[in-house]
Amino acid sequence: MYKGLVLTPLFIFALLKCKAQNSIDSNGVLLQKQAALIQEDSTAMGRYEADSVFTVQLVKTLKQTNSFEFHLDSLVAVRHLIAPDSAFKIFSWQLDLGDGHYKQRGAIQLKTNDGSLKLLPFFDKSDLYIEPEHELMNRKNWMGAIYFDIILNTFNGIRYYTLLGFDEYNSSISKKIIEVLHFENNEPVLGGNFFLYPKDETYPNAPVERFVYSYKKGSNGSIRYDKENQRIALSELTSISNDLKDKSTLVPSGNEVYFIWYNGKWVMPNK
């Protein structure tokens, strides 16, 4: 060590961060390889095996002290989001079952004061629900989704995290999902009475616990957060066969509709 070198708190933090990054890098190659195989292996058995190996390796990696600070951007086959207030990370990915259906995997990693691991796994039970948009859920009976954005809002002192996600669902229909999550006793509660919108045959029948809409696979129905205007934009849907009840015929019309957070709810104004 050079004479006169002062170990300031900032310098120590940089050393710890570098050590943490080196630690994740040492495991990153295997993680990325197995994550890619979950999607790319040509057999269902191979994808199942890759999923199992990846899950074990991910947990092993996250058990390392201060793993919340690890950068996992290289896991391109696995969605990895950090809440806007850095309270938690959420991981989500999917497994192609080989019969036109998909199973989602997920977990939340809570940030802890001592750097220890607090991991809450999610269990996809979507096959138990005919209309999951009408079910209040928790992590043990989860609809299943790949989340790609988190929006934070506060109402009456409670933090609500709105998750935007998608579900490949089956060979003819895909789904987009708006899910509101909050915590009670450090456990995530999924869903609630958070949506007000006009009646439309392409939307789920209100009231709902989460907003789920279905459309023709490959037609690229969109849900996105318009940060500048603080609203959720959705593709307006129309039917290519003039049958709005047949979800496999619904495609984007080219227009968008919007949800705005108002008084603790996502409200869609009348068209």
Using one digit for the tens of pLDDT, what is the confidence trace for 86-129?
Answer: 999 999 999 999 988 899 999 999 999 999 999 999 999 988 88
- For the question of whether the overall pTM of this predicted structure is more than 0.85, the answer is yes
**In this predicted structure, what is the pLDDT of residue 29?**
73
List of E strands, the chain: 79-82, 88-96, 102-110, 118-123, 137-138, 146-155, 158-167, 173-184, 187-190, 195-196, 211-216, 223-226, 231-239, 250-262, 265-267
CA distance 141 to 145: 12
pLDDT digits (tens, 9 = 90+) for 223-258: 999 999 999 999 999 999 999 999 999 999 999 999
